[in-house]
Amino acid sequence: MSVHRFRDFHVVAKPPHIRSYIGTPIVLANGYRVGVLCALDTKPHAMAASSTRLMVNVAGLVAREIEGLAGDDYDLPLQPKVREHLPLLCAASAQH
């Protein structure tokens, strides 16, 4: 493990023994950070710049979807709306 600060994390030290992580924040147009899009693997990987760009682009698409779900309530707290639509977002991502 090349990053020793993570070696004692539960998911690293014990099953599922995560060895790779890539993540990027999901940032709405108003600057709110509402989550993180990430990918995990049990095999070590060197992340290419193209993979990082892809994650950033997909996180932007997720942000636009969240904003679209919020509709006219965009500037209000989005957590209830995101929770309401989360099953739809998950189902859509599972189909791709």
Give the count of alpha carbons within 13 A of 40, CB side only. 9
In a domain, 4, yes or no: no
Residues 37-75 have pLDDT tens digits of: 988 899 988 888 888 899 999 999 999 988 887 776 655
Q: Is the entire prediction scored with pTM above 0.85?
A: no
In a domain, 12, yes or no: no
In a domain, 89, yes or no: yes
In a domain, 13, yes or no: no
Residues 12-37 have pLDDT tens digits of: 888 989 888 888 999 988 888 888 99
In a domain, 35, yes or no: yes
In a domain, 90, yes or no: yes
| 80: pLDDT strictly greater than 80 | no
In a domain, 14, yes or no: no
**Whole-number pLDDT of residue 96:** 46
Domain enclosing residue 31, as ranges: 22-94
How many domains in the chain? 1
**Whole-number pLDDT of residue 1:** 47
